[in-house]
Amino acid sequence: MTEPGNRVFRFAPSPNGALHLGHAYSALLNHDLSREAGGRLLLRMEDIDRARCSRAFETAIVQDLEWLGVEYARSVRRQSEHFEDYLEVIEALAGEGLVYPGFMTRGEVRAYAARHEEATGTPWPRDPDGALLYPALDRNLPEGERAARIAGGEPFAWRLDMERALGRTGDLVWTEAGGDEGGVVDVAAEPALWGDVVLGRKDVPTSYHLAVVVDDALQGITDVVRGRDLLPATSVHRVLQFLLGLPAPVYHHHRLVLGGDGRKLSKSAGDTSLATARAAGMSPRDIRRMVGL
């Protein structure tokens, strides 16, 4: 593990809604753990989704963090300002034949999977988030057809050729410090479960997976503290780190703060937003108590 004092943590919200109690827990835990380690905390705005993210949400997040007492280093990285960095990485992967253009729309994937299910009576596989795996059709397109479709202006996403990637990486593990027992364990990555994930979307030249891995490395992040809902995605992140020759941080996937109904909180559930709690007269100390810190 990194020397104490040199450790770098980050809180990386997407400014597409108001922070809720789950985000507060994540931000406060990052704050507390970075303090304990004598390290630094950075803030990163994961705003690649240009339709859903806004500066107004970003401002509200900054205000909420200030109110909570979460202190971070002042230079905030905004992913939307670095699209050319991500594109360079995709081009490098394309040069190595590790990504390919995927033209299929979501509807086409759904129809393809439905035809398969009807013909075989077996369900089409889904990734850990529940999305249908991308069929191998575009991966196997003849080069000429691929070039013609791109020249014809057909929109495409860059997809990782997972099979080829895994041929390079072999088995991978990551260091997990967020287990229930509190110890540090090696977790075996299972990237094949994700299939050919998107690395560059049709609208922007990156995806969550690519941007998070590139940025964690660029910002020198040594400790990734984030919700347990992102634990399965870490398998993909390890593959990308390997392919790009980037160091792997230590991961701490923390428990999720659940709503009264036992379900994961969502940004649209206004009743658990921090702004609402604040307006109702609660203090940051109350919030800490509510999330179990």
Q: Which residues are catalytic?
A: 267
Nearest distance in Å: CB 174, ligand GLU:
13
Q: Kindly provide the residue ranges of all beta strands, DSSP E only, lying in 130-184, ordered along the sequence.
A: 157-160, 173-176
Instruction: Please tell me the distance from the alpha carbon of residue 234 to that of residue 165, in angstroms, as a whole number.
Output: 15
Side chain identity, residue 207: S
Which two three-digit tokens encode residue 185?
């364990």
Closer of 159 and 252 to ligand GLU (Cβ): 252
Rg (CA), the chain: 20
The answer to whether residue 17 forms part of the interface with ligand GLU (CB under 6 A) is: no
Nearest distance in Å: CB 266, ligand GLU:
11
Q: Which residues share a beta bridge with 19? A: none
Residue from 7, 8, 9, 13 binding ligand GLU (CB under 6 A): 13
The answer to whether residue 226 forms part of the interface with ligand GLU (CB under 6 A) is: yes
Closer of 160 and 233 to ligand GLU (Cβ): 233
Q: How many residues contact ligand GLU, by CB under 6 A?
A: 7
Closer of 17 and 135 to ligand GLU (Cβ): 17
**Sequence-distant (≥ 6) Cβ neighbours of residue 276 within 8 angstroms:** 270
Instruction: List the one residue out of 20, 19, 15, 25 whose CA is nearest residue 79.
Output: 15
Nearest distance in Å: CB 234, ligand GLU:
9
> Do the strands 99-102 and 157-160 form a parallel or antiparallel pair, or are they unpaired?
antiparallel
The answer to whether residue 15 forms part of the interface with ligand GLU (CB under 6 A) is: no
Residue from 28, 33, 43, 46 binding ligand GLU (CB under 6 A): 46
The answer to whether residue 53 forms part of the interface with ligand GLU (CB under 6 A) is: no
> Do the strands 173-176 and 185-188 form a parallel or antiparallel pair, or are they unpaired?
antiparallel
The answer to whether residue 18 forms part of the interface with ligand GLU (CB under 6 A) is: no
Nearest distance in Å: CB 274, ligand GLU:
14
Angle between helices 208-218 and 234-244 (to 10 degrees): 60
Question: Which residue stretch of 12-20, 67-75, 132-140, 145-153 sits at the interface with ligand GLU (rule: CB under 6 A)?
Answer: 12-20
Nearest distance in Å: CB 282, ligand GLU:
23
First to last CA, the chain: 25
The answer to whether residue 12 forms part of the interface with ligand GLU (CB under 6 A) is: yes
| CA 181 to chain CA centroid, nearest Å | 25
- Binding residues for ligand GLU, rule: CB under 6 A, are 12-14, 46, 212, 226, 230
